[in-house]
Every structure is written in structure tokens, then in C-alpha cells.
Amino acid sequence: MTSMEKDMKKKVFIFVIIILLAFLQADGFAQMKKTAQSGMTYLSISLGARESAMGNASVASVDGVESIFYNPGRLADVQGLGISVNQVNWLADTKLYGLAAVYGFGRYGTVGVDLVYMDYGTIVGTQVVDKSVNSRGFIFTGDVKVQDYAFGIAYAYKVNERFGFGAKVKMVHEDLGDAF
């Protein structure tokens, strides 16, 4: 057997071992129990009816002040002052509020600020207990106050009629109250 054949066998052997380890590792991850792992989900809810109807596929088509929520580069087309106030009635008595203000400085670009707030309404807190304490297996612990909000600052600049760019910095907050 030549050294080239030995090298080839060695490479095939290493490749097979890597593939087997990858499958074993994937099976190990499949055994993990993950429950209720989601966060900041309010950021994926559309603030506009048009954007929601388009399945959030509106990055290029959104115009005006609302573009601060989807594509800050489109803010470069805004001239003067623009204000947007939105409210979305969502599932189970939750509401999403959006507020944005944008000012176009002409050749110096456009600056905007926005605030998104999620109101979850009243959430009744419960705690699992032994059936000897309560026949239902849980007790009421009072109302839980949950707060989610995001604050953003954006800047956009129009280079020419066909090209502009934008950037946005966002601070997000999620408070699950006394739930955990």
C-alpha cells in the first residue's frame, strides 16, 4: 500500500469519526427538555396593518416615519418633521404601542427616535403546589406585572437619488415581574 493510499484511508477514517460524533451530539441535544424559552417576542409583531398583511416582508416597501421600525435607511427620504403613533390590539388582551418622531435635516441627513411598549394586561399568577395543599394542584399568588419596551435612535443619510443608508441603535428591556 502506498503512502498516498494510507493518507486517503486515514482521511476517510477521520471523516467517518467526525460524522458519527456529530450524529451522537445531535441526539444528545434532542434529549434536552426546553420549555417556555422565548424572549423579546414583542419585537417581531408588526406595528402597521400593511406590514402585518405582507407577513413582515416590507423592508423595501415601507415609507415615511414607519420605516424607523423596519428599515432605518428609508428614513433618508423624510423631509421635515414626521410623527407616527401606533396601537396594535394583539392576542389575549395584549396591546403593542409604537411611537416615533423623525426630523429630516436636508443634506445633513435624518434623525429619529422611537419607543415600542408591550402591555400584557392583567396576568394572574399561580404556583404549583402539592395536591395535599390544594386539590387543584396550584394556588393563586396575585397579579403579575410584566413589562417590555424598546427605545431606539436612528440616523439616515441619502447619498444620491438611488442610494441611502441608515443605522439604528436599540435598547430593549424585558421584566417578567415576580414570575421567576
Full DSSP string of the chain = --HHHHHHHHHHHHHHHHHHHHHHHHHHHHTS---S----GGGGS-SSHHHHHTTT--TTT--GGGHHHH-GGGGGG--EEEEEEEEEE-GGG-EEEEEEEEEE-GGG-EEEEEEEEEE---EEEEEE--TTT-TTSEEEEEEE--EEEEEEEEEEEEEETTEEEEEEEEEEEEE-GGG-
pLDDT of residue 51: 83
Mean pLDDT: which of 27-36, 54-63, 87-96, 171-180 is highest?
A: 87-96
pTM: 0.70
Average pLDDT over residues 16-28: 70
> Residue ranges per domain, the chain?
41-179
What is the rounded average pLDDT of the residues 169-180? 80
In this predicted structure, which of 9-23, 72-86, 137-151, 159-173 has the lowest mean pLDDT? 9-23
Q: How many percent of the chain have pLDDT more than 70?
A: 89
